[in-house]
């Protein structure tokens, strides 16, 4: 194949006006917005991975990996950024907070099969029970469906994490089963409760919450306008 | 680097329209690429080579954009999508389990 015309690359355009070092806003809700990770976020992660409450309630492989596999190395940032099986986004409160309130991610993404797993971590105790986690999960679910083309999301919750189970139910997830004594907290075994949601159920949630319309593509949603 | 540079389409002798990308193709930059592919399709180009040799990172959102481009082009009469890859791109496509979905070119391109 030979070029008959050569033109230089276009100047890149940013999805939003924020400096890249602050992260790119991917999705925006009423209470929170989701942005891409930046290298500076590692200092937040460094604090979160040492929180025993988070460890017990979430048992996040993401945080566990940062602490124990990557030994809090700065290289973790690039590894996450270039991992094609996960999308990790920082949760920022729209008002009243000066630092991220958590992280939400889709992982074990299977693009061809159309499914992935969801993990939502609200790290600031003051930010809990304010609907931040519910909205963050909702936004990334829409992102997974609209941008990644996913048709099913799955989440696992420790049986004692009632707050997370209620949050998933409020977002339309259904309990699909129980993995008996599949979790271990260092002292005893606990059941893991499996939740799932399908594309049409996510759409039903979006119709119910009319404020969550697809973002303009320029803000990162990628959904084509009709 | 947070932005992808996307070159203007070039039409080669074999009728393949080439789109060249440089930098990361990720959640932050994939919308630009999607818009460019839509534009190419709207202009009637159905046979496209996406040159990813200068791409420095590829995440799930970037791969999803490539899969959507493939779907859009294959839906056109005589449509095809060829990816010109580098090691980073190949690794990401393998890790995501999507490499078999694409026609790949490792050659010098146009």
What is the number of other CB atoms lying within 10 angstroms of the CB of residue B23? 18
**Mind listing the pLDDT tens digit for each residue in A161-187?**
998 999 999 999 999 999 999 998 778
Chain B touched by A25 (CB under 8 Å): no
CA angle centred on A66, ends A187 and A169, rounded to 5°: 65
Confidence at residue A13, expressed as pLDDT on a 0 to 100 scale = 35
CA angle centred on B80, ends A11 and B83, rounded to 5°: 50
Q: Mean pLDDT: which of A54-58, A152-156, B36-40 is highest?
A: A152-156
Angstrom distance (rounded) from CA A17 to CA A27:
14
- Give the pLDDT band (50/70/90) at residue A82: confident
Size of interface A-B (CB pairs under 8 A): 137
**Chain B residues within 8 A of A3 when measuring between CB atoms:** 10-12, 18, 110
**Closest by Cα among A197, A173, A147 to A36:** A147
- Beta-strand pair A102-110/A87-93: antiparallel
| Extended strands (E) in A68-204 | 87-93, 102-110, 115-122, 152-158, 174-184, 189-198
Q: Select from A14, A109, A149 the Cβ nearest to the Cβ of B3.
A: A14
Confidence at residue A211, expressed as pLDDT on a 0 to 100 scale = 57
B75: exposed, middle or buried (Cβ count in 10 Å: 0-12, 13-18, 19+) = exposed
Query: Per residue of chain B (110 residues), what is the pLDDT tens digit?
Result: 345 666 766 666 567 899 999 999 998 889 999 999 999 999 999 999 999 999 999 999 999 999 999 999 999 999 999 999 999 999 999 999 999 999 998 765 54
Report the run of H or E that residue A81 belongs to, with start and end: helix A75-81
Which range, of A203-207, A213-217, B17-21, averages the lowest pLDDT?
A213-217
Angstrom distance (rounded) from CA A15 to CA A219:
5
DSSP summary character for residue A66: I
Confidence at residue A212, expressed as pLDDT on a 0 to 100 scale = 55
DSSP summary character for residue A68: I
């Amino acid at each position: 194949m030979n070029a008959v015309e050569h033109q230089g690359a276009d100047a890149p355009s940013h999805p939003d006006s924020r400096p890249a070092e602050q992260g790119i806003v991917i999705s925006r809700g009423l209470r929170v917005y989701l942005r891409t990770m930046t290298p500076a976020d590692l200092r937040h992660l460094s604090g979160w991975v040492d929180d025993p409450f988070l460890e017990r309630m979430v048992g996040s492989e993401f945080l566990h990996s940062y602490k124990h596999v990557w030994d809090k190395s700065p290289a973790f940032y690039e590894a996450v950024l270039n991992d094609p099986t996960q999308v990790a986004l920082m949760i920022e409160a729209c008002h009243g907070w000066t630092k991220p309130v958590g992280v939400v991610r889709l992982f074990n993404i299977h693009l061809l099969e159309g499914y992935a797993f969801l993990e939502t971590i609200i790290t600031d105790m003051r930010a809990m029970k304010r609907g931040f986690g519910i909205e963050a999960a909702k936004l990334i679910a829409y992102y997974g469906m609209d941008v990644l083309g996913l048709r099913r999301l799955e989440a696992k919750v420790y049986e004692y994490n009632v707050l997370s189970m209620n949050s998933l139910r409020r977002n339309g997830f259904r309990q699909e089963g129980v993995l008996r004594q599949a979790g271990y907290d260092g002292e005893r075994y606990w059941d893991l409760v499996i939740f799932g949601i399908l594309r049409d159920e996510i759409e039903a949630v979006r119709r119910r919450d009319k404020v969550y319309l697809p973002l303009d593509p320029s803000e990162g949603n990628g959904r084509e306008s009709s | 680097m947070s932005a992808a540079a996307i070159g203007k389409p070039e039409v080669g002798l074999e009728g393949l329209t080439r789109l060249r990308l440089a930098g990361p193709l990720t959640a932050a930059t994939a919308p630009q690429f999607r818009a460019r592919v839509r534009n190419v399709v709207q202009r009637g180009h159905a046979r496209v080579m996406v040159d990813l040799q200068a791409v420095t990172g590829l995440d799930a959102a970037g791969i999803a954009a490539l899969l959507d481009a493939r779907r859009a082009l294959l839906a056109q009469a005589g449509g095809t999508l060829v990816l010109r890859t580098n090691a980073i791109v190949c690794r990401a496509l393998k890790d995501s389990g999507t490499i078999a979905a694409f026609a790949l070119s490792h050659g010098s391109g146009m």
